Amino acid sequence: MKIAILGLAQTGKKTLFTLLTGRPVPATRKPEEALEGVALIHDSRVDALSDLYQPKKTTYAENQFVLCPDITASSSTSRLWMDPARRCDLLCLLIRAFDSPDIFHPSGSVDPERDRSLIETELLLADMQLVETRLQRLAKEKKTSQTSAQAIEEEILHRFNAALEDGKFLTTVALEADEEQAIKSLDFVTRTPLIVAYNVSEDDIGKDLGPELLTISCEIESEIAAIEDEEERAEFMAEMGITQPSLDRINIALYDALGLMSFYTSGADECRAWTIRKGSSAPVAGGKIHSDIERGFIRAEVMKYDDLMAAGSEQGVKQAGKMQLHGKDYVIEDGDICHFLFNV
């Protein structure tokens, strides 16, 4: 799963990307260049399991980020951000909501809602261009013959065009499964899930800006990341009124927006979080570990995280009668700790 970091110039995108992934953005990076990196999703349940089992290795779930070129209010030919964003599974819009005399704003002033509207307009225009291009191609193909699949696609594109002209993202257009398949390869950006994050000043840390909106101060998060001593870091966060680093909240929110969740495996060798889609069956979850588990699935031994923490050990869970055995129809729940039995 890939997450696009999108925004205007001078919003803090490069800082956020580096904070999340630990990968510095080279000064030699070209304006049209997209940069990729991986961010660990720090999970208190993984930490607790690691403390309990003392494994040789602890592994967190991950998000993969793509730093896209700046969005600009310009002609379609210079939408350099468009192609890398289309190849992502989620869009994270970073909006500037901080003032700084040292950092210029392309529009001359800081206005988060104006900037968000501009970005959303650019997204709509990018998809309108794609619809127009595809309809023109279908019109040419229709002069000779038209398949049923092309007819379905054309009808969908006209519906898409009406929504876009009305200023609506394509996530608002409901499609049947066969219709989804018909336009799957077109990669519409406004049909991609979207999360908005506001890069705020120190004074606005922790303020609620509304539903589905996240706030982060890249400046303060940079200061937190630079503090190596854990006690000093905790004291600094307490002084700032920060209970959880914003980076962790953003990672978790993005993970959830993708419809993903974690299950766990634990033992002396490794405690690990595994990423699956919500609603996945036990064999599918086992297949994330190894394809042989899905093919030869017999059953899954499942502990609930809270039961394990309360009991203090696997043996305690068994003695309490809370170790569960499930077949192939079992739907994994967030936080399940699993051991899979299978035939090779």
Give per-residue pLDDT as tens, 190-246: 999 999 999 998 877 766 566 557 888 999 989 988 998 989 988 998 888 787 777
Mean pLDDT, the chain, rounded, equals 90
CA 63 to chain centre: 6
Q: What pLDDT score does 250 carry?
A: 84
Q: Which amino acid makes up residue 206?
A: G
335 phi-psi bin (left φ>0, alpha ψ -120 to 50, beta other): left
H helices of 22-170, where?
44-53, 82-86, 112-142, 148-165
User: Does the domain made of 279-342 have the CATH classification 3.40.190.10?
Assistant: no
CB 1 within 8 A of CB 38: no
User: Who's near 28: CB < 8 A, 6+ residues apart?
Assistant: none
State the Rg of the chain over Cα.
Answer: 23
Q: Could you tell me the pLDDT band of residue 149, with boundaries at 50, 70 and 90?
A: confident
Report the distance separating Cα 46 and Cα 60, nearest Å. 7
Q: What pLDDT score does 214 carry?
A: 84
302 phi and psi angles, rounded to 5 deg = -125, 130
Q: What pLDDT score does 1 carry?
A: 84
Q: Is residue 73's pLDDT more than 80?
A: no
Report the distance separating Cα 185 and Cα 62, nearest Å. 26
Question: In 3D, which of 74, 63, 56 has the Cα closest to residue 37?
Answer: 63
Q: Is residue 273's pLDDT more than 90?
A: yes
168 phi-psi bin (left φ>0, alpha ψ -120 to 50, beta other): beta
Question: Coil, helix or strand for 12?
Answer: coil
Q: What pLDDT score does 148 carry?
A: 84
Buried residues in 11-36 as b, exposed as e (16+ CB within 10 A):
bbbbbbbbbbbebebeeeeeeeebbe
CB 108 within 8 A of CB 117: no
Report the distance separating Cα 296 and Cα 283, nearest Å. 9
Q: What pLDDT score does 277 carry?
A: 94
Q: Could you tell me the pLDDT band of residue 337, with boundaries at 50, 70 and 90?
A: very high
Give per-residue pLDDT as tens, 156-196: 999 999 999 999 999 999 999 889 988 988 999 999 999 99
DSSP codes of every residue in 151-192? HHHHHHHHHHHHHHHTT--GGGS---HHHHHHHGGG--GGGS
Q: Is residue 36's pLDDT more than 90?
A: yes
Q: What pLDDT score does 323 carry?
A: 96
- Please state which of the ranges 3-17, 64-78, 227-241 shows the lowest mean pLDDT: 64-78
Report the distance separating Cα 298 and Cα 276, nearest Å. 19
- pTM given for the model: 0.86
- Please state which of the ranges 134-138, 149-153, 159-163 shows the lowest mean pLDDT: 149-153
Q: What pLDDT score does 205 carry?
A: 75
CB 4 within 8 A of CB 89: no
- Counting runs of H as helices and runs of E as strands, what totals does the chain give? 13, 12
For the chain, which residues make up each domain, given as ranges? 279-342
Q: Is residue 94's pLDDT more than 80?
A: yes
User: Who's near 96: CB < 8 A, 6+ residues apart?
Assistant: 7, 8, 10, 11, 12, 105, 110, 112, 115, 198, 199
CB 241 within 8 A of CB 30: no
Most confident of the ranges 62-76, 219-233, 267-281: 267-281
